[in-house]
Amino acid sequence: MSYQALYRVWRPRNFADVVGQTHITRTLQNAIVQEKFSHAYLFSGPRGTGKTSAAKIFAKTINCERSPVKEPCNECAACRGIQDGSISDVIEIDAASNTSVDDIREIRDKVKYASSSVPYKVYIIDEVHMISVNAFNALLKTLEEPPGHVVFILATTEPHKIPLTIISRCQRFDFKPISNQAIVDRMKTIIDVEDVSVSPEALETVALTAEGGMRDALSILDQAISYSEDNVELDDVLAVTGGVSQQILTDIVKSMHEKDVKHALKQLDELISGGKDPGRFVYDLIYFMRDLLLYKSAPSLEGLLERARADESFHALTEAVSIGWIQDAIMQLNQCQQEIKWTNSPKVFIEIAILTITNRYQAQETSSSPADSEAVTKLSSKMEQLEKELRTLKQNATAANQSAVPREPKKAQARMTKSSFKVQFEKIRHVLTQAEKPALKNVQSQWANFLSKLKAQNAPAHATIQDSKPAAASDEALVVAFKYEIHCSLFLDNRETIESVLAGVMDKPLTIIPIPENNWTELRTEYINKQEKSTSEQTGENEQSDPLVDEARKLVGDDLLEIHD
């Protein structure tokens, strides 16, 4: 098989070919020319952005026979040997299949040997985050102080999984997603050399689908070239990627805005029946709406459009829709995108989203139509009149109750809420007398962990307690303040499960006593006032003096005075 994929044929061979990473390539070039390059590098970033390519170019440049230079010559024996993999001193390792301690120990043992054919031995470890923790520990010392002839280059798409002890021993370079324009420019260069005809719209769609990855873009372009006859058009790219054309997106958005539900749902059905990916359709529609909103807000930012082209139909749609309508539609589509990830019937959720967007717009239109403005005015005045009458009735009823029934002290009230929940005031007061701050802080520090475990074990039980917070704690009980009274009642239905999970987290059983937040505020204030009163009374008693003691204090002083009861 003589044919090679485009991304392999056009893999960068010098720093100038690494697209969209000038901030990295320039730094590396200057370090090489000044001979101040480091012994260890960490290249991190999304897939297909040039990490391993840059690592190989770096290895060629420092070992080039013309070094120090900014670019490898790609002509000397060292450059050609590193490029085709025949020089054993540049070692590429796939960490996904070499994760054990023994694999790293083998590297550590071979590092001390001098390179055989080039000045520097370079270890390129790809997807380094796959290495085990023990293997990382085995690499630490070698990575920190390798021999002078060795350079390590670690590449990863998930730098957060690498221990900080490894990261601190490397110079880190973050490769960023490549812009759509840079991808398009690179593909134009390639198709000119390959003598392939590709339309500008097709190139832009390929770049958008690649999501910042040059390798992905070339793979899609390669697939579209194979699919097409002579010229690669937009429809060819949409066919291989499952994307949707701008014309269809424009028609669907226009149908939703004009309340033509039948046409919008019919187009959706044709797309799904034709094999289009529902998730891809929603993704394209969200990006199209984003471009619509951007252009509607600031037409001068046409260069930032990612999914749409500012043609005549796009301009007409921009004039028709409002910013509020677009924002609401994006929110509905975003929710739909989340829901279809967990369902086997994505079409149903997309249809619901289309109906919701259309019906909301209908409601807005109806409420603002001149025909109904008089009815709305009458209804508003009628509601105001009813509200006034209701306020008057409430005031009269309150006054009558106050005059007829004397108010009882709050302590003595046996409170029953609308949800028939009775607050256990005496139990809570008992907890407060035994409450300790360290006990409450200990519960608060574990509360998030407790809620997480409860949610994983029993989601309905978690829902009843998620809006609550620990209020007071003793060694045996915990007072929990709930936002609403109904939650206290719902908690009681799940009490055993909740207390069981809490006991597992705290390593001891705790009885949870629920109380609504407003009741807790009153009870806490009452308790604090009672404590302050008790303290002041004790202080007053201590301050009462004995005349005999006062005379003795005058004669001998406080140092020699002993008072016995």
**Gap between the Cα atoms of 160 and 167, Å rounded:** 10
**Gap between the Cα atoms of 530 and 534, Å rounded:** 6
Sign of CA dihedral 294, 295, 299, 302: positive
Half-sphere CA count of 326, side-chain side, radius 13 A = 21
**Segment (H or E) for 55:** helix 51-63
Half-sphere CA count of 491, side-chain side, radius 13 A = 25
Sign of CA dihedral 146, 148, 149, 155: positive
CB-based contact 150:120 (threshold 8 Å) = yes
- Neighbouring CB atoms inside 10 A of 79's CB total 24
3-state helix, strand, coil in the chain (%, to 5): 65, 10, 30
What's residue 57's pLDDT?
94
- Give the pairing of strands 197-198 and 231-232: parallel
**Gap between the Cα atoms of 243 and 249, Å rounded:** 10
Nearest to 178 by CA among 127, 215, 205: 215
**Gap between the Cα atoms of 42 and 129, Å rounded:** 11
**Gap between the Cα atoms of 147 and 102, Å rounded:** 20
**Gap between the Cα atoms of 13 and 449, Å rounded:** 50
What's residue 466's pLDDT?
80
Could you tell me the mean pLDDT of each successive run of 10 residues in the chain, 565 residues long?
80 91 93 91 92 94 91 91 89 82 84 86 91 86 86 92 91 92 91 89 86 90 86 86 84 90 89 85 89 86 76 86 90 89 86 87 47 55 69 69 51 44 83 84 86 82 82 88 81 84 85 87 84 68 59 59 62
- Give the pairing of strands 121-126 and 150-156: parallel
Cβ neighbors of 435 (< 8 A, separation 6 or more) are 472, 473, 474, 479
Domains, the chain, with CATH or none: 6-176 (3.40.50.300), 178-241 (1.10.8.60), 244-369 (1.20.272.10), 425-525 (3.30.300.180)
Strands (E), 196-265: 197-198, 231-232
Nearest to 118 by CA among 152, 141, 144, 149: 149
CB-based contact 15:28 (threshold 8 Å) = yes
Q: What is the DSSP string of 136-195?
A: HHHHHHHHHS--TTEEEEEEES-GGGS-HHHHTTSEEEEPPPPPHHHHHHHHHHHHHHHT
**Gap between the Cα atoms of 221 and 214, Å rounded:** 11
**Segment (H or E) for 62:** helix 51-63
